[in-house]
Structure 1
Amino acid sequence: MKYNKIFVTATCGLSLLMSMSSCDDWLDIQPKGFTIPEKYADYEQLMNDQSLYRALDVYPSMITDDVQFVEKGTFPGFDLFEYYNKSEHFKNLYSFEHGQVFTPGNSDNIWENAYGNIFTYNAVINNVLTSEGGTDFERRKLYGEALVGRAFEYLNLVNLYANHYDPATAGSDYGVPLVLSEEITGERYPRASVATVYSQIESDLRDAVDNYLAETTATTFDPNRSVGYAFLSRMYLYMGNYKEALSNANSSLELNDKLLDYKDYKAINGQWGRLVAADDSGEEFPDEHKNLENVYTRVLNGTSNLFKSVAASEDLLETFARNLPADGEDMRMSLFFSKDQFDPYTRPGNEPNRFPGYTIFAPYIEMNIGFSTPEVLLIAAECEARVGDKDKALAHLDKLRDMRIKNNVHFPTTYSKDEVLKMVIDERRKEFAFVGLTRLIDLKRLNRESWFAKTITHSAGSEGTWTLPANDLRYIMPVPENVLSFNDMPQYER
């Protein structure tokens, strides 16, 4: 088999890597490359590259109903969530601009990083099973992990840059380029349909779960079979196949249903390290890869543009207040948000940042955008409310809320299925506020249902007020302008 150059993210210490000046213009990525490795150890090292463990970016949250900016000069001495102070692409998203989001010369990190990672996964998928060294079990395990990694990147891409999956139109809706080879031949990559991309994701996941993933792995950076089922449950939820989503969620929960009790923690002054054990033992909130409820760890990029830099919308704050017992305290709000002021200092005498009347997002922990027990529980709850047993849905909600809310009170079983479904959606919003693509995708998929459809309004005082109707094409990110300059892909008219 003849190979041209392949492009993957450089791995520190991998002796076979060499710098290259060529790039894949059609996708606008320029990772570093290497000749095809022959040994299993090289592929193992590629899969341990830390760049694979980071994904997405915070900017999609700026489209949603979770965020709020203010006009210039609102809080003298504290300007971090002023609209005026934001980057051009943040402002373009917040004000629901038509057309391109990124200004010329600025890169779209989600697109570039995702395709760079995909080339790495392709190199492993297409070669590791025939590589030298390692046991058959080790080669097969690495192969399965690469299948999951590739599927993860494509599910993010197709949900950000394409119309949400609709069985009636998915065969013709524009998806994203589907690249399955590590070879760079100079040819253009067509824009595959949404249905084609989903079909590839499903095929990769089914193959991994049925044939390759191990029951357990050493770290949550490496997917095991529980992760495979969790992933399938997310994919089927997005497709509206609630029966399959429920079946896979249940399979995942049978293997792992651990939850972290947020009531065991409190927030103190400071930034990183501000979440500590409530018993004053000195223990900090667990790192993302040590958090027992994280089953597959992928860390969100760009949090410096999110922490202490955005305010929670009134709509989000009202969601946190709903279904809260009279003497209850939602620890997600207490730990991850700050109302009226935030004290980033640990030294006495320093004045806190003040913003009376507003609440900012300031968790200062690494945010997992992979898969977690809370997400799987909420998928199971939503699907039970839709196609199963509403009392089981309520039991899932109670189990999660017991770990999140002080003095939680369990829901009565007198609620209707529709009422339970609305409570599940509220709980998803609270659990995953500002976490990856979750809220954006929920808006895209749920806006098609009449009970949910909403128009989002953003404002920044005298600087402007902007609206985004349900199902508007501006929910879809455009293919980056740099890509279009080399490849005339069809576009959504956003």
Structure 2
Amino acid sequence: MIRKKIYIVLLMSFALLSSCEDDLELTNPTELSPETFFENEAQLRSSVNAVYANLQTIGTYSRNLFYMFDNMAHENLGNPQLEADKRIFLNFSFDASSSLITNYWDSFYRGINKANFVIGNQEKISEIPTSVVSQEMKDKYVGEAKFLRALYYFHLVTRFGDVPLITEIPEDGDGFPRAPAEDVYAQIIQDLEDASTVLLPKATEQAGRATRGAAYALLGKVHLYRENYEEALNAFENIYGLYSLEDDYFDNFKEETEHGPESIFEVSFDDDMGNSEFWWSSVTGAGPNEVSLRGQDYGMFDWFNVYPSDDLRNEFEDGDPRYEKSFYEVGDEYAGGLIEEISLDRPAGWRKYQNYYKEPNEDLTSGINMRIIRYADVLLMMAEAANQLGDQNAAIGYINEVRDRVDMPLLETGMAKEEVFEAIVHERKVELAGEQVRFPDLVRWGRAAEFLAPFGFQEGIHEVFPIPETEISSNNNIGPEDQNPGY
């Protein structure tokens, strides 16, 4: 099995900030200081590996993030045992005291601080002799840190709006004020443009690391969210045709087919590599934390805290094979045999990211990677950009590439702009179901209130999260008056 999460060899206790404004602290078995750390490739690589670790915390993709986004989108409904801290995202009753929102904020800012440590030491890195580390590799590692910093800031700015913009290691504990979202987006774009020039292509990079294609894909997504449609298409064009769709749609969600031709960037998990720190590094990413609880949490024969909503399942067209590859129903086959009933007499359970294709029950932890950027998503984003730029036939062509993979009837040319847009809205909902994109889509399209008001969503409030109360109480430059409206 490919070694996925890259162990932090010398930074195993890379302990940083209790909140985003704290100083970077670096301890390791050899007691190397930041001033003497970057001397060889192993040290450089381990410092970058530490940045990746914050994709694997409970605060992000190991647990909380998929609950938050799938519940807010009402792709999930909650079973009676669903914990209160996750149920509040179904009815939009969360506030600044939410531990999930706090962990989301802290996890990503800790990752940013780790990235800043690498990026801020470029001069030291450049001094490593090229006989020890080639210039290409030195640039590549810094590019990975910039990609991850951009990804973390994208997660923050899209969910909180104005956020502290920190690009260097803090010198004191006073904290940083909220920066305008436009400034944060400008930094994200600059980081991704820089990364796209130095990252390696997927074919030559170790599986699980950021690649040139991932940088261009995220750059295009950022421009799309900013409604800069021409810039979005330009970014996507750099990878169009370099990836391909999986022949079998379900291969996007299995362990054995990770890093396939459709995958652009994945959060890596491997339950053979250890999880002794899973419950103790919910935001730090320190120590063995190589697993996800997605299978157990969503599993219809296990914890089964949530199940796919009727609204989501009803969106699928008759005969769309993505339905049976996304959900289980009574009468379906799984590794335990024929499904005669689903727990709590529910009409369906999740199939995506579940181990039931090979195991009759979920273990506590899962090693299935989360695919957070895949080629089908890029094709549909290209369709959206082309449609907004007035090229409806090009947009239809991109949509049809996605539909053709699953043998669904192709759309005919000649559709009006609004018709094409509605086709994109539908296609994204079914193609990317349970992949944490529906809620951000509804927000950026201005449609969140239309679909989610019956569940408690309030326009002008719930497009963003509240700034965590822990940040307000500990950051000298953010006060109650800086809280997002409505919270």
Partner secondary structure for residue 143 of structure 1 = helix
Return the letter of the residue paired with 1:370. I
Contact 2:229 / 2:385 at 8 angstroms: preserved in 1?
yes
Partner secondary structure for residue 65 of structure 1 = coil
Higher helix proportion, which one?
A: 2
Q: Corresponding residue for 1:236? A: 223
Contact 2:75 / 2:433 at 8 angstroms: preserved in 1?
yes
Cα pair distance change 1:355/1:17, threshold 3 Å: closer
1:65 aligns with 2:66: no
Higher strand proportion, which one?
A: 1
- Gapped runs of 5+ residues in structure 1? 1-8, 70-80, 163-174, 266-274, 277-283, 459-465
Cα pair distance change 1:116/1:369, threshold 3 Å: farther
Percent identity reads 23
Query: Structure 1 residue 287: deviation in Å?
Result: 4.1
Query: Structure 1 residue 346: deviation in Å?
Result: 2.3
Query: Structure 1 residue 333: deviation in Å?
Result: 1.8
Query: Structure 1 residue 343: deviation in Å?
Result: 7.5
Instruction: Tell me how far apart the structure 1 counterparts of residues 6 and 373 of structure 2 sit (CA, whole Å).
Output: 26
Q: Once the two structures are superposed, what CA deviation does each residue of 1:152-205 show, in whole Å capped at 9, x if it has no partner?
A: 11101111122xxxxxxxxxxxx1121212355223121111111101101111
Q: Corresponding residue for 2:181? A: 194
Partner secondary structure for residue 447 of structure 1 = coil
Instruction: Tell me how far apart the structure 1 counterparts of residues 257 and 464 of structure 2 sit (CA, whole Å).
Output: 29
Instruction: Tell me how far apart the structure 1 counterparts of residues 342 and 25 of structure 2 sit (CA, whole Å).
Output: 40
Contact 2:102 / 2:470 at 8 angstroms: preserved in 1?
no
Q: Where in structure 2 are the equivalents of 1:92-241 lying within 5 Å?
A: 92-97=88-93, 99-100=95-96, 102=98, 108-128=102-122, 129-132=125-128, 133-162=132-161, 175-183=162-170, 185-209=172-196, 211-216=197-202, 217-241=204-228
Q: Corresponding residue for 1:165? A: none
- Gapped runs of 5+ residues in structure 2? 270-291, 356-367
1:339 aligns with 2:329: yes
Contact 1:145 / 1:213 at 8 angstroms: preserved in 2?
yes
Instruction: Tell me how far apart the structure 1 counterparts of residues 113 and 418 of structure 2 sit (CA, whole Å).
Output: 43
CA RMSD of aligned residues (A): 3.2
Please, what TM-score do these two structures have when normalized by structure 1?
Answer: 0.75
Instruction: Tell me how far apart the structure 1 counterparts of residues 206 and 110 of structure 2 sit (CA, whole Å).
Output: 23
Q: Corresponding residue for 1:382? A: 384
Partner secondary structure for residue 415 of structure 1 = coil
Q: Corresponding residue for 1:492? A: 484
Query: Structure 1 residue 222: deviation in Å?
Result: 2.1
Cα pair distance change 1:232/1:194, threshold 3 Å: same
Q: Once the two structures are superposed, what CA deviation does each residue of 1:220-254 show, in whole Å capped at 9, x if it has no partner?
A: 42223222221111001100111111121122214
Contact 1:121 / 1:150 at 8 angstroms: preserved in 2?
yes
Q: Corresponding residue for 2:419? A: 419
Return the letter of the residue paired with 2:404. D
Query: Structure 1 residue 115: deviation in Å?
Result: 1.6
Contact 2:102 / 2:468 at 8 angstroms: preserved in 1?
yes
1:261 aligns with 2:260: no
Partner secondary structure for residue 260 of structure 2 = coil
Alignment counterpart, residue 13 of structure 1, candidates 9, 14, 34: 9
Query: Structure 1 residue 52: deviation in Å?
Result: 4.5
Q: Matched residue pairs, number?
A: 417
Contact 2:20 / 2:106 at 8 angstroms: preserved in 1?
no
Decide which moves more: 227-236 or 55-64.
55-64
Cα pair distance change 1:356/1:28, threshold 3 Å: farther
